[in-house]
């Protein structure tokens, strides 16, 4: 028995499914999860000492790679000063100022500990600011595991959603309307039917949990218009895309395509914590004034603005602002996805790819899908074979066909070439 197998058996005795987040269990692809012992630059190492080129990057945060010297120095210094105080620190202000400098749609920001906590709080804030209860989300977009967000579509636009998880009461789901991603006619109809009741619409600008699917520009433009017309707030979930797809995040990309575009509330995570548990949500002063202690929308957290996490996040944000950082990262990611597409073509395998900044996705189909139902028609068994062939070759991709991938600044040309060589063999 390998060390990974032994650890997995041991873990299953004390942790449900042997993991603390479901996708880690390898249920989608089969086989034994790799138990990671350490990371170094673009690499992670498992319990057997096997090295892997890491394209998960802790699901996005490790944009600089593992163990970046500037981040290590900042975290070590912060840890020596104290792990947690339950009181304000200057570094919280510094991190908030850094985020706001780069995201002009927000005037104030509240720091929390996880993306789930941030999206939950953002929806509560939208409800408190508008005095409305109902909201729209999209099938295939993931916003954390709070009750109101674990919902699938109802039987029609006149009916609201149904829980997708045991333990979620139907009366909670009844306020959530689930629409198809990028389906413009359905969006128009939903606002015509429910516009006056909607507190907000929450959307991932690039969905990362149905692999990599962009919100179409025309769709985003019309969504912004409809929210404004009906008094609903547009909540942009940038937990995954924030500072990962560009210095000004995905909303900066859409602002370059849609004059005057900005969301009402933004949610961030992952990169802003640099790998530590940290997230945030923010908006204009007029909206944020509803948040306690100023207003009646309650939100609190003992570890919010944790001094070690803020040190990690602040060091990360300062590094990614250095000249040429995103140009280099984007070019590197583009070389990877173009190379994968070329290898697949040479082997006669249906393949489509897309990327933005340091985030990418690929599909074993001829055209990029635009919504969840098409994503789920991907050849799952072929993906699973590809995943394991790549893993055996020392390339660690997401262990599910519906997860995006991530490139870091630490990935070298040699790493990308090794990945393409492995893919060429795997796709044969």
Which part of the chain has CATH 3.40.640.10? 69-320
pLDDT given for residue 156 in this prediction: 65
Interatomic CA distance for residues 133 and 123, integer angstroms:
9
Q: Distance between the two ends of the chain, CA-based, in angstroms? A: 29
As a CATH number, domain 69-320 is 3.40.640.10
Share of the chain above pLDDT 90, in %: 93
Residue 176's DSSP bridge partners are 135
State mean pLDDT over 357-385: 94
Peptide bond into 386 cis (omega under 30): no
Structure tokens at 335: 């070389």
User: What pLDDT does residue 161 have?
Assistant: 77
CA-nearest of 139, 406, 112 to 269 is 112
Q: Rounded to whole angstroms, what are the CA distances from 371 to 50, 187, 214, 365?
A: 36, 14, 9, 14
Cα distances (Å, whole numbers) of residue 310 to 84, 86, 122, 220, 222: 11, 14, 20, 32, 36
Active-site hit among 46, 134, 137, 237:
237
388 and 32 Cβ atoms separated by less than 8 Å: no
pLDDT tens figures, 147-201:
999 988 665 666 677 888 899 888 888 899 999 999 999 999 999 999 999 999 9
Which residue intervals of the chain bear CATH 3.90.1150.10? 3-67+324-427
237 in catalytic set: yes
Please provide the size of the chain in residues.
428
Summarize pLDDT for 218-260 with one digit per residue, the tens: 999 999 999 999 999 999 999 999 999 999 999 999 999 999 9
Helix (H, G, I), strand (E, B) or coil at 267: strand
Confidence of residue 120 (pLDDT cuts 50, 70, 90): very high
Give the helix/strand (H/E) hosting 100: helix 90-102
pTM here is 0.96
At residue 158, the pLDDT reads: 64
Determine whether 21 is exposed, middle or buried from the number of CB atoms within 10 Å of its CB (0-12, 13-18, 19+): exposed
- Give CB contacts under 8 A, 24+ apart, made by 335-338: 335/413, 335/416, 336/360, 336/407, 336/411, 336/416, 336/419, 336/420, 337/362
Pick the closest to residue 310 from 39, 63, 83, 140 (CA basis): 83
- pLDDT tens-digit series, residues 280-291: 999 999 999 999
C-alpha atoms less than 13 angstroms from C-alpha of 60 in its C-beta half-sphere: 30
Cβ(336)–Cβ(415) below 8 Å:
no
Contacts of 137 (CB under 8 A, 6+ apart): 143, 149, 151, 176, 177, 178, 179, 201, 202, 203
Mean pLDDT for the chain overall? 96
Question: What are the pLDDT digits (tens) for 45-86?
Answer: 999 999 999 999 999 999 999 999 999 999 999 999 999 999
Q: How far is C-alpha 172 from the chain's CA centre?
A: 24
Instruction: Give start and end residues of each alpha helix (H) in 354-428.
Output: 372-375, 380-392, 413-427
Q: What is the pLDDT of residue 172?
A: 85
Residue 270 annotated among the catalytic residues of the structure: yes
pLDDT at 159: 65
Q: Which of 170, 156, 226, 219 is nearest to 198 (CA)?
A: 226
pLDDT band for 1, please (50, 70, 90 cuts): confident
Tell me if residue 219 is catalytic.
no
Catalytic residue among 46, 270, 402, 415: 270
Domain 3-67+324-427 has CATH 3.20.20.80: no
Closest CA to 74 of 368, 313, 251: 313
List 207's β-bridge partners, or say none: 213
Helix (H) or strand (E) holding 15: none
The pLDDT tens digits of the residues spanning 15-37 come to 999 999 999 999 999 999 999 99
From 52, 55, 142, 402, active-site residue: 142
């Amino acid at each position: 028995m390998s060390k990974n197998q032994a650890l997995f058996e041991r873990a299953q005795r004390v942790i449900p499914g042997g993991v603390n987040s479901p996708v880690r269990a390898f249920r989608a692809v089969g086989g034994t999860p790799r138990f990671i012992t350490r990371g170094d630059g673009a690499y992670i190492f498992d319990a057997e000492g096997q090295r892997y080129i890491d394209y998960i990057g802790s699901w996005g945060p490790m944009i600089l790679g593992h163990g970046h010297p500037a981040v290590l120095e900042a975290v070590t210094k912060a840890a020596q000063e104290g792990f947690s105080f339950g009181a304000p620190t200057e570094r919280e202000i510094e991190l908030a100022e850094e985020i706001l400098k780069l995201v002009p749609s927000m005037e104030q920001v509240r720091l929390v500990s996880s993306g789930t906590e941030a999206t939950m709080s953002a929806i509560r804030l939208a409800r408190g600011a508008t005095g409305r209860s109902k909201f729209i989300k999209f099938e295939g977009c993931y916003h954390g595991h709070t009750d109101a967000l674990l919902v699938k579509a109802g039987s029609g636009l006149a009916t609201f959603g149904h829980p997708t998880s045991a333990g979620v009461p139907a009366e909670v789901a009844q306020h959530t309307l689930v629409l198809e991603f990028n389906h413009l006619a359905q969006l128009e109809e939903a606002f015509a039917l429910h516009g006056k009741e909607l507190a907000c619409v929450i959307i991932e600008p690039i969905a990362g949990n149905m692999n990599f699917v962009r919100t179409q520009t025309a769709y985003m433009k019309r969504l912004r218009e409809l929210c404004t017309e009906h008094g609903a707030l547009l909540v942009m979930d940038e937990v995954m895309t924030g500072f990962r797809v560009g210095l000004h995040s995905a909303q900066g990309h859409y602002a370059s395509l849609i004059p005057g575009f900005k969301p009402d509330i933004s949610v961030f995570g992952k990169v802003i914590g640099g790998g530590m548990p940290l997230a945030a949500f923010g908006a204009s002063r007029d909206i944020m004034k509803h948040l306690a202690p100023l207003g009646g929308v309650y939100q609190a957290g003992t570890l919010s603005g944790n001094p070690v996490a803020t040190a990690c996040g602040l060091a990360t944000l300062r590094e990614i602002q250095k000249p040429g950082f995103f140009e280099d990262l984007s070019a590197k990611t583009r070389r990877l996805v173009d190379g994968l597409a070329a290898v697949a073509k040479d082997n006669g395998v249906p393949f489509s790819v897309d990327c933005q900044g340091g985030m990418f996705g690929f599909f074993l189909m001829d055209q990029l899908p635009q919504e969840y139902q098409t994503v789920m028609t991907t050849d799952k068994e072929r993906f699973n074979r590809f995943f394991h062939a790549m893993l055996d070759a020392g390339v660690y991709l997401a262990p599910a066909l519906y997860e995006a991938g991530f490139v870091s600044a630490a990935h070298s040309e040699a790493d990308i070439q090794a990945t393409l060589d492995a893919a060429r063999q795997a796709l044969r």
